[in-house]
Amino acid sequence: MSTIEINASLRSDLGKGASRRLRHAEQVPAVVYGAGKEAQALTIEHRIIFKAQEQESFYSQVLNLVIDGENNDVIVKDIQRHPFKPKIMHVDFLRVVAGQEIHTTVPVHFINEEKPVKAGGIVSHHATEIEIACLPKDLPEFIEVDVADLKVGDTLHLSDVKLPAGVSSVELAKGTDHDGAVVTIDKPKGAAADEGDAEEAETDAE
């Protein structure tokens, strides 16, 4: 189901001390849970998980987590990083089952931003990802938002975003008051002041 494969091993040595020892050995503690099965504590080589997480699809696609040779379809639910070092500290995986709906977030890709910019607008992103519900087979790598037709002062809301077939918005399912802004085309700073100065000058001239 996924082009990203991550090899992991079961671990029985648990606790903070064990996790510290793993990290010193360039191993990352992890856990996988869900699908009606017991949670399993894992260890993954840091170089493997670090390389995998550099791909955008790592966060929004079904991954193949190979645990001691056994394939598991999972998605990433949480990833903890070192506050200032380029290190992964812990990863949570959720098992997924074909035919069972999952909730996750996927990134937003904005396209044609140069058009409203050329028209004198500034593109302001209010959301960089969208929480969705879908079956594993329908999980998109990203959601595309086209801003080509937006004009200065326009705002595109969550309800305006065209989601792929089989995909729904978790926020919109809560009600219309959750229809948040995704992107706005703002006036350049100082534009309003300039317009006001021009109007004032015209009034003085009269």
pLDDT in tens, 45-90: 999 999 999 999 999 999 999 999 999 999 999 999 989 889 999 9
pLDDT at residue 195 tops 60 = no
Closest CA to 32 of 10, 16, 12, 48: 10
pLDDT at residue 148 tops 70 = yes
Q: In terms of domains, do 14 and 87 share one? A: yes
How large is the C-alpha radius of gyration of the chain? Answer: 23
Q: What is the residue range of 122's domain?
A: 103-192
Q: What is the CATH number of the domain that holds 46?
A: 2.40.240.10
Q: In terms of domains, do 9 and 59 share one? A: yes
Q: In terms of domains, do 44 and 122 share one? A: no
User: What domain count does the chain have?
Assistant: 2
**Please, where are the H alpha helices in the chain?**
16-24, 46-52, 114-118, 191-205
9 within a domain of the structure (yes/no):
yes
27 within a domain of the structure (yes/no):
yes
Q: In terms of domains, do 120 and 157 share one? A: yes
The whole-model pTM stands at 0.81
139 within a domain of the structure (yes/no):
yes
* Angstrom distance (rounded) from CA 24 to CA 43: 13
Higher-pLDDT residue of 183 and 196 is 183
Residue written as token pair 């002062």: 153
Q: Where is the domain boundary, 97, 118, 139?
A: 97
Q: Where is the domain boundary, 53, 81, 97?
A: 97
169 within a domain of the structure (yes/no):
yes
Q: Where is the domain boundary, 37, 65, 97?
A: 97
